[in-house]
Amino acid sequence: MTVNQMTTSSFAKLPEPPYYSVIFSNQRTPGDNGYEHMADRMVELAAEQPGYLGVESARASDGFGITVSYWASLDAIAAWRSHAEHRIAQEAGNTLWYQHYELRIACVERAYAKRV
């Protein structure tokens, strides 16, 4: 994938604030153990949920990653959190995929950008 293609796809296209963000920083365990497949499925499934606005994600080669998902409301976040298929993924995240994670829910109040 070229840099230009990544620029198109990596950034979330969001409305004006306010909206909510879920900042999920995490350290992967070694090995895949079904992670990539489930991660792709969760991105796809999240995008179908009411109130979903977008997602941005980066993972370094050492396995440390940050995923920020954006939502219209706290209710939308709570509904996604309790989604049955997502709960199965959360369980596997706790037992298999993440050595450590921090999850923070934050209300975006202001936004700026440099776009080419």
Rounded Cα–Cα distance for residues 24 and 57 (Å): 9
Residue 29, C-beta contacts closer than 8 angstroms, at least 6 positions apart = 63, 96, 97, 98, 99
| Residue among 8, 39, 6, 2 at smallest CA distance from 24 | 39
Contact between 61 and a second copy per CB under 8 A: yes
x/- track of binding to a second copy for residues 17-56 (CB under 8 A): x---x-x-x-x--x-------------------------x
Out of 45, 66, 72, 96, point to the residue binding a second copy (CB under 8 A). 66
> Is-contact 54 13, C-beta < 8 A?
yes
Rounded Cα–Cα distance for residues 38 and 49 (Å): 17
Out of 1, 16, 31, 48, point to the residue binding a second copy (CB under 8 A). 1
Out of 16, 44, 48, 112, point to the residue binding a second copy (CB under 8 A). 112
Where does this chain bind a second copy (CB under 8 A)?
Answer: 1, 3, 6-7, 10-12, 17, 21, 23, 25, 27, 30, 56-66, 68, 93-94, 98-116
